[in-house]
Amino acid sequence: MTIYFVRHGQTNYNIEGLCNDDPTKDVHLTEEGKKQAEEVAKKLYDRKFEMVYVSELPRTRQTAEIINAFHNAPIEVDGRINDRKTGYDSKPVGDFLKYIGTNIYHAKPEGGESFQEEKQRVFVFLDDLKKEALRSSARCNS
């Protein structure tokens, strides 16, 4: 199994320097972000996709749909791969970075999560993905 990790293209919040971890906010790809996704799509054109996983944040699905246009693989939303809950949604990234300071792994803003908590959540997703790949491989070899 080959896994490709792709970050979303540029968003309106990136330009404004704002945090976003709330899927209900209007955070979307800019024209530049769409071009970035199209460039990745061209680079991955000849690769085989069996499944595309995206977070609950709309910008990730927007990016994935552009990249997946050549593949038409199923797209599955999984909240375990959402961005870190910062507690600073719609506030300046600089404020969040100032809060975490040098305690980047353990600082946990009110309403947010620590980097360690985010990492644990993502690792559970990756472990489940690995288990599914092993089950699929075993079915194919039977």
Closest CA to 82 of 16, 25, 33: 25
CATH 3.40.50.1240 fits 12-141, yes or no: yes
Give the per-residue pLDDT at 24: 96
> How do 52-54 and 75-77 pair as beta strands?
parallel
pLDDT digits (tens, 9 = 90+) for 24-33: 999 999 999 9
Residue 35 vs residues 62, 65, 70, 124, 136: alpha-carbon distances, Å: 12, 13, 15, 32, 35
pLDDT digits (tens, 9 = 90+) for 102-111: 999 999 999 9
The ranges assigned to domains in the chain are 12-141
> Residue for token digits 């375990």?
80
8, with CB counted inside 10 A (0-12, 13-18, 19+), is buried
d(CA 28, CA 55): 14
CB 28 within 8 A of CB 59: yes
Q: What is the pTM of this model?
A: 0.89
In which band, very low, low, confident or very high, does the pLDDT at 141 lie, cut at 50, 70 and 90? low
